[in-house]
Structure 1
Amino acid sequence: MKFAYKFSNLLGAVYRHGNLSFSKDGNSVISPVGNRISIFDLKNNKSETLPVSTNKNIACVGLSPDGNLAILVDEDGAAVLVSLITRAVLYHHHFHKPVGSIRFSPDGRKFVVTKENVALMYHAPGKIREFNTFALDKSYFGPYDETTCIDWTDDSKCFAVGSKDMTTWVFGAERWANLIIYFSGFIFMNYCFLYTVSRDGTLCVWESDTELDGLRKGPKYSERKKMAEERKRRAEEEPRGEVVRGSADTPKEVEGIRNVRYKQKSKHFFNKEGDFNNLTAVAFHKRTHILVTGFASGAFYLHELPEFDLVHSLSISDQRISTIALNPTGDWIGFGCSGLGQLLVWEWQSESYVFKQQGHFNNMASLAYSPDGQYLATGGDDGKVKVWNCSSGLCFVTFKEHTSSITGVAFTSSGLVVLSASLDGTVRAFDLHRYRNFRTMTSPQPTQFSSLAVDLSGDLVCAGAQDSFEIFLWSMQTGRLLEVLSGHEGPVSCLCFSPVQSVLVSVSWDKTVRLWDMLDSWQTKEVLRLNSDGLAVAYRPDGQELAVATLDGEITFWSPQAATQTGSIVGRHDLQIGRKETEKITAKQSAKGKAFTCLCYSADGESMLAGGHSKFVCIYNIKEQILMKKFEISCNMSLDAMEEFLDRRKMTEFGSLALVDEGAGDGDGVELRLPGVRRGDMSSRHFKPEIRVTSLHFSPTGRSWAAASTEGLLVYSLDTSLVFDPYDLDMDVTPVSVRHQLKKKEWTSAIVLAFRLNETSLIREVLESVPYNQTELVSSSLPDVYVEKLLDFVASSLEKSRHLQFYLTWAQNLLTLHGQKLKSRSSAILTTIQQLLKSIQRHHDDLSKLCDWNIYTIRYTAALAKQRGMKRTATDCLVDEEVDEAEVMDSEDEEEDMSLMNIHLHAK
């Protein structure tokens, strides 16, 4: 249970490659990130990465109309059917060729896949369990080149397929006697209109002379003997299914049935100034008749069809737009830019951003947790520092002041300042309140900083130099350089401050670890000799132990007080290095020169996380010095150094295909090699990124840990929902006996029995059944063993529960009544206290914003009511005056009528 960490979320990357999709309600956007997919909830401002992965990068995603199923297809054509409700893989299928696009029919009964020059129509997976979930219905031939795009009619009777041979083919989901047509370009079908858009920026509008109900069914396939013989011949080569072959010739009309004909109604051209003619992505919304086109320059246009009226135009970036998607209502437009790793959602009616996220488009170099565990700071080779919210998984601030790669990031003890060191020779401090760079620290001579550390008080900042072998020390308050620490004879690879003392530890390539006393004139306190070059160093949370990773693949443990080695772990073979495509030696031989490059203690100090140039992260038990578990952070074969053995299918008589130079030496090709065409050369324009772990960090709460890797920022957390771990169990401890104690109102006994059974749902039921005014009494009568367990449960429940006041009262009573006993076990409950603090701080931030907003609303309402009350008072006065005047006039009229009646009576 202690090491039951599971993949939780992927941060640092929001879009890589492929097509975007909106959910059925339009509130979430589904984005492929490498070989995984992330779901961004635009209403609740949260992100989630599914625990599902493919073997290679995802090329296209098909979403069912009801939003329950998704088909993920990777670069090689391997497909995975995923349930978006249970987040589980339902079926695996392989199309054996790269797939261009995939699209479900509007009724959800069929889906079409395009690969090479053929379109394959399958029966969509249903509620009935089938042995073969992907049942091929028909194969459609006609295009001469690769098929690229698909679109269906609203009634699911027909679909159109676009091809690279500049033709568009319209096929029927069933066999129609009067429908075999072809056109050109991107295709969008809307009832009797068909729109084709080509990459040169040309839009053609085609109009049909036949309504959709004018389609006539043709002869069945079984009646065509000639086609039956052909299907029998191809049965061994292709999956079983009906074959439909289109023809570019005008079809002969069947007697009594008129063929469906399309004629070009109009032709339009997009703006061809600059790069606008290089069209890269298109999307069309059928209800609103809005066409969205994206270009290589980063601009996009909105046109209303079929009149081609320009509605809106905007440039969102300077990179090409890779994909466009519209939500079901047509209000939001999603844009994906693979060059920057950018994902945008634009509301075109209000001309505002609904969602705007961008990851590190280069490697992620370092990360750090905030002291309360709510935020994560990352630094990348793109020179950006990003701060992520751990609960939402989104980046809320990006600092771009650095001009070169980031080598280290750190939080101060208050959690309000983020520090970063860079190869541009500066150390910068960023304020998380005003989101600004308020301090910049530099060295007297230009140098490149390769490491960073900040002391517990947050007053001292130090950075290690890569070229001058010195350590620079600054004051955070003034930003002035206090001291330059010299002594190392090689680049300083890592720095670390003691968590309990004012002692700085530095490790260098000169095979030494130096301890610097910050209170005694910054002198060297101790020098520890290593057997190899030092790469990483880490202090245990209690400050009583030091771990050092060296180039020979070992992790050595030292006592800082006695300056003696207490243990070592040989982890060279645990890394399990993969073999690169261009390497001529085996992975076993390559692993002899590899080592751990990042270390991190667990929150309790009993375990050690270690990672390096490998796809594995190892967890070691320090006391026993054994490997406890290995986490495979990626299974993406699109990355390099993933395979342990060489793929024999890539071997030729000249060696590996990855090492064979192309276009030279055969006499017929190009004799002079052009720049960037040689494989295996790091200066080439296209090469596979290598899988590696650059930084590791445990959350202060101990519930999760994060790894900065080539894939992005991977977060692993404890999953205790399905773990049954009883405590002191016997025959009398059952759910029935627990509920029996609840009926008798024996609260303490019920809580103890529930914790002995250790089922989360039962503990929550018992705890929330205790009356509010009895919490203090029950807390005082709990045994000491169960106080820590209850406090841990309250801390974990407070993160997601709506009963804030109830659980806060429990926490307050437990800490108040048992504070002295818990203080003696401070190291054991440190993670629980930090998790409790994290939950309280997060709820405080959320509620404070809500309360501030409510205060302003109440003030506005009160002012408005006061203003209306004043108007009403004035109106009442006017009404009273009018009533008085009316009463006077009425009395005068009555007196006049009475006098007239008296005169009339006297006359009689």
Structure 2
Amino acid sequence: MKYSYKFSNLLGTFYRRGNVTFTPDGNSLISPVGNRLSVFSLKNNNAETLPLATRCNITCVALSPDGSLGILVDEEGAALLISLATKSLLNQFSFQQPVQSVRFSPDGKKFVITKGNVAMLYHAPGKRREFNAFVLDKTFYGPYDETTCIDWTDDSKCFAVGSKDMSTWVFGAERWQNLIYYSLGGHKDAIVACFFQEGSLDLYTISADATLCMWQCDTELSQLQARDPNKKPRESDNAETEEPRAEEIRGTANPAPEESVGRVRYHKSSRHFFNKEGDFTTLTAAAFHKKLNILVTGFSSGMFHIHELPELSLIHSLSISDQRVSTISINCTGDWIAFGCSGLGQLLVWEWQSESYVLKQQGHFNNMGSLSYSPDGQHIVTGGDDGKVKVWDTSSGFCYVTFTDHTSSVTAVTFTSSGQVILSASLDGTVRAFSLLRYRNFRTFTSPKPAQFSCLGVDGSGEIVCAGAQDSYEVYVWSMQTGRLLDVLAGHEGPISSVAFNPWRSVLATASWDKTVRLWDMVDSWRTTETLNLSSDALAVTFRPDGREIAVASLDGQITFWESEKGTQTGSIEGRHDLKLGRKELDKVTAKHSSKGKAFTALCYTADGQALLAGGASRYVCLYHVREQILAKKFEISCNHSLDAMEEFLDRRKMTEFGSLALIDEGTGEEEGVSLSLPGVRQGDMSSRHFKPEIRVTSLHFSPTGRSWAATSTEGLLIFSLDSSTVFDPFDLDEEVTAGGVRRAVRGGEWTRAIVMAMRLNEESLLRETLESVPCADIAVLCSSLPELYVERLLVFLATQIERSRHLQFYLTWAHQLLMLHGQNMKIRSVSVLPAVHSLQKSLQGHFSEISKLCEWNRYNMKFAVCLSRQRGIKRGAEESDAESGSLEEAEMEQ
């Protein structure tokens, strides 16, 4: 049960592709991140990734008007119906083709999807459980090219569909007598967006050449007349198919109503151009707020404009990046505007009235290469191939500082033991130290001759910094205080792949491609104390938290365990078959044969040292029990088939008589706005770069609290944590230990017996009820009489309660008495107790940061109130003195 880690959150990735949307209350933003969905609470300042995943990358997201249901559609056309309230999957459906857009009607009864040149109207799922949640109502034909956008009228009577054939079609959601369809032209490029005005059929259409057309309708929404269902239509009006459950409305001939009813007609009232200054950039996204008449447009140059309609007066213009703006969304109040840039993975929320950012987050532009937890488990630092070092808050999920001093890929990052300094090694030949107090690079370590550093380590005191080079086969040692080079450790005959310090002694382990692991004594003149010979190249090395054991991953797929003091091998694990590699699209061998050359590249011990995490070029992370040397559990990092090496077997659907479809490169496609440059080329530029990223795990690290672990992968920074509230994990259970027995002991005043029985049941609610029934005066006596076996488990429980409960002082008293009375005995088994202490420290640090912010805010408010009262007192005194002087003057005049 203690290995029941589940996916908790996804950091480092905020937006990939698709459309972002606000929740109906306007306080949260929903963004598709690969094949997952992230919810950013802008009021509470935290981020959460839902435990749901589609088969491929999400391209369309639609929310119901009440915000309870959501529809996710991936790039293959597979749809998921989810509940945002329970965060669970309700239904699955396949549209068989890629879907361009999805939109719910304002009344929530129907929704429209567009695929190819067809718009399909479905009945929205209701509140009750249904056999089929997606029931097709009508199918609308008309456009000759792919459809791009959808918009509904306020009363859900009609909807408009834009197309790449430069036309916009207005369809009736019901059978109206004077409106079945209407086609609008007048543009010279693909339609990007179309919007109805509030409470009318008047329409705005926007094309990719930055042209806005305003269309006025001669009919009001209230003048739409329903067709008599009993009256038999004429043959020219009949547009039904033979399908029993769906109706098709084809735009081939405009049927005329039988009665003399005025048809709905549109005429173009005006046309506007955004590129007045000669900035010939492509318009890529647009959003419109109907109540405020605010139009926001985004361009391929990274610019966005805010206009007020119908005058098209420019309110604001700003450049947010040098990449195209992929999606725009406005919240219900019209205060916040969300922008997504797929090229940079950037997500912005802009408050246009105050001209300030509400949210501004961006992940690593390229892959993440390394990560490390802070000593208290509250922060994670990551390094990427883009040369950036980012620090993440585990509670909020946001990045709060980014260091951009490196000029090449960052290969390793780590915290010092104090948690105030971050060290990073890079291929640019430098190791840099960053301060988290002043947020700057205060020390730079370099080598006498240029070297590419591939790994990094710092000792427990934080005074000695070591980095291994992959081109000079040497390990460089610096002093943190002076920044000077202390020594160069030579002896390896291959690139240095990994270095690790003993947590309790000044012993450095270095792994190299020369099939050896060397142990260096940092105190005794940097000499080699032991050389461990391996059967293959060493790829990763790590110490157990107590420093008595070393785990080494080698190129032949084996993990070997060694005693650090004697240098003898204690065991090995054959992990090649546990990787379960996938088959790449261009591979000509099976996945079973390709796994022969693969191995684990990242190792990490759990916080208690009883298990080992291992990952590599696979979508799985393996958890091994060290003493038994068996596979305890496998964690799937991703199920996204948009990544390479995910298929285990050959997909015959992707094979043709000329070979695999993957060999036919069509460029980046029309999504990037590439024009057709060569005759015969279907889409894109043949010289453009096009690749599928391969799934892999580059780094693993366990939280010092023992409650979670993190992995950097192609998907981003994934957090797996324990969910103790849903796991029944009893301890030393017998027939007498029951919930009724615990409550009887509480009523009888047998506090120690009640607490021990509740901890043996290990049910959170019962243990909380038992602890909170204990009088505060008896806590010290109970802590002294508590058996040593239960002290560590009680500390872990107190850490979680301090983080959640309102009874802060009560639980702090428990923790204080436990540490004061049992602290001496805990030193003997410090390694097993250390995760509990770290978890307690994390909870206290979180409360300290929150309370300190609140106190600072209150202090400034009190200063402001005091100054304001003084000003009012001075003003009142001046008025009283003026009144007194006036009365004296009147008295003198009377005399």
TM-score, with normalisation over the residues of structure 1? 0.93
| Secondary structure class of the residue paired with 2:724 | coil
- CA-CA distance at 1:730 after TM superposition: 4.3
Match of 1:794 in 2: 798
Match of 2:247 in 1: 242
- CA-CA distance at 1:735 after TM superposition: 3.3
Contact kept in structure 2, 1:511 and 1:533, CA below 8 Å? yes
Match of 1:749 in 2: 753
Contact kept in structure 2, 1:472 and 1:484, CA below 8 Å? yes
| Secondary structure class of the residue paired with 2:577 | coil
Matches of 1:3 and 1:621, distance apart in 2 = 10
Match of 2:194 in 1: 187
- CA-CA distance at 1:300 after TM superposition: 0.3
Summarize the Cα distance change of 1:479–1:173 in structure 2 as closer, same or farther, 3 Å threshold: same
Match of 1:199 in 2: 208
Matches of 1:447 and 1:644, distance apart in 2 = 39
Match of 1:211 in 2: 220
Contact kept in structure 1, 2:241 and 2:248, CA below 8 Å? no
Unaligned segments of structure 1, at least 5 residues: 664-668, 893-908
Q: Which moved more, 1:110-119 or 1:749-758?
A: 749-758
Which letter does structure 1 place at the counterpart of 2:286? V
CA deviations over 1:876-906 (Å, ceiling 9, x no partner): 455456667778999x9xxxxxxxxxxxxxx
Matches of 2:336 and 2:243, distance apart in 1 = 46
Which letter does structure 2 place at the counterpart of 1:829? V
| Secondary structure class of the residue paired with 2:644 | coil
Matches of 1:274 and 1:546, distance apart in 2 = 65
Contact kept in structure 1, 2:69 and 2:83, CA below 8 Å? yes
Which letter does structure 1 place at the counterpart of 2:182? I
CA deviations over 1:28-53 (Å, ceiling 9, x no partner): 10000000010011111100000000
Which letter does structure 1 place at the counterpart of 2:183? Y
- CA-CA distance at 1:521 after TM superposition: 1.7
Match of 1:401 in 2: 405
The equivalent position to 1:687 in structure 2, one of 681, 691, 694, is 691
- CA-CA distance at 1:121 after TM superposition: 0.7
Q: Which moved more, 1:732-741 or 1:264-273?
A: 732-741
Contact kept in structure 2, 1:275 and 1:297, CA below 8 Å? no
Which letter does structure 2 place at the counterpart of 1:642? M
Matches of 2:851 and 2:90, distance apart in 1 = 41
Contact kept in structure 1, 2:752 and 2:785, CA below 8 Å? yes
CA deviations over 1:283-319 (Å, ceiling 9, x no partner): 0010100000000100000111111111111111111
Does the alignment pair 1:223 with 2:216?
Answer: no
| Secondary structure class of the residue paired with 2:263 | coil
Q: Map 1:693-732 to 2 at 5 A.
A: 693-732=697-736
Matches of 2:253 and 2:883, distance apart in 1 = 84
Unaligned segments of structure 2, at least 5 residues: 186-190, 668-676
Summarize the Cα distance change of 1:389–1:227 in structure 2 as closer, same or farther, 3 Å threshold: farther
Match of 2:27 in 1: 27
Summarize the Cα distance change of 1:182–1:359 in structure 2 as closer, same or farther, 3 Å threshold: same
Contact kept in structure 1, 2:204 and 2:215, CA below 8 Å? yes
Contact kept in structure 2, 1:425 and 1:446, CA below 8 Å? yes
Contact kept in structure 2, 1:221 and 1:242, CA below 8 Å? no
Summarize the Cα distance change of 1:747–1:865 in structure 2 as closer, same or farther, 3 Å threshold: farther
Matches of 1:204 and 1:656, distance apart in 2 = 45
Matches of 2:547 and 2:725, distance apart in 1 = 33
Count matched residues.
Answer: 877
CA deviations over 1:331-354 (Å, ceiling 9, x no partner): 100000000000000000111000
Match of 2:15 in 1: 15
Summarize the Cα distance change of 1:731–1:544 in structure 2 as closer, same or farther, 3 Å threshold: closer
Contact kept in structure 2, 1:367 and 1:376, CA below 8 Å? yes
Contact kept in structure 1, 2:497 and 2:540, CA below 8 Å? yes
Which letter does structure 2 place at the counterpart of 1:691? I
Summarize the Cα distance change of 1:153–1:12 in structure 2 as closer, same or farther, 3 Å threshold: same
Matches of 1:874 and 1:671, distance apart in 2 = 86
Match of 2:490 in 1: 486
Does the alignment pair 1:66 with 2:66?
Answer: yes
Contact kept in structure 2, 1:451 and 1:463, CA below 8 Å? yes
Match of 1:110 in 2: 110
Q: Map 1:275-294 to 2 at 5 A.
A: 275-294=279-298
Contact kept in structure 1, 2:153 and 2:201, CA below 8 Å? no
- CA-CA distance at 1:183 after TM superposition: 1.4
The equivalent position to 2:870 in structure 1, one of 853, 866, 873, is 866
Q: Which moved more, 1:378-387 or 1:820-829?
A: 820-829
Q: Which moved more, 1:853-862 or 1:739-748?
A: 739-748
Matches of 1:223 and 1:675, distance apart in 2 = 46
| Secondary structure class of the residue paired with 1:478 | coil
Summarize the Cα distance change of 1:8–1:102 in structure 2 as closer, same or farther, 3 Å threshold: same
| Secondary structure class of the residue paired with 1:850 | helix
Contact kept in structure 1, 2:240 and 2:249, CA below 8 Å? no
Contact kept in structure 1, 2:239 and 2:249, CA below 8 Å? no
Match of 2:671 in 1: none
Match of 1:146 in 2: 146
Summarize the Cα distance change of 1:85–1:304 in structure 2 as closer, same or farther, 3 Å threshold: same
- Larger radius of gyration between Structure 1 and Structure 2: 1
CA deviations over 1:427-463 (Å, ceiling 9, x no partner): 1111111111111111111121111111111111111
- CA-CA distance at 1:221 after TM superposition: 8.8
Contact kept in structure 1, 2:237 and 2:256, CA below 8 Å? no
Which letter does structure 2 place at the counterpart of 1:609? L
Summarize the Cα distance change of 1:274–1:460 in structure 2 as closer, same or farther, 3 Å threshold: farther
Match of 1:36 in 2: 36
Which letter does structure 2 place at the counterpart of 1:415? G
| Secondary structure class of the residue paired with 1:522 | coil
Match of 2:451 in 1: 447
Which letter does structure 2 place at the counterpart of 1:156? S
Match of 2:527 in 1: 523
Which letter does structure 2 place at the counterpart of 1:244? I
Q: Which moved more, 1:581-590 or 1:818-827?
A: 818-827
- CA-CA distance at 1:788 after TM superposition: 2.5
- CA-CA distance at 1:222 after TM superposition: 8.5
| Secondary structure class of the residue paired with 2:262 | coil
Contact kept in structure 2, 1:276 and 1:297, CA below 8 Å? no
Matches of 2:465 and 2:682, distance apart in 1 = 48
Matches of 1:565 and 1:221, distance apart in 2 = 87
| Secondary structure class of the residue paired with 2:195 | strand
Which letter does structure 1 place at the counterpart of 2:476? F
- CA-CA distance at 1:405 after TM superposition: 0.7
Summarize the Cα distance change of 1:659–1:367 in structure 2 as closer, same or farther, 3 Å threshold: same
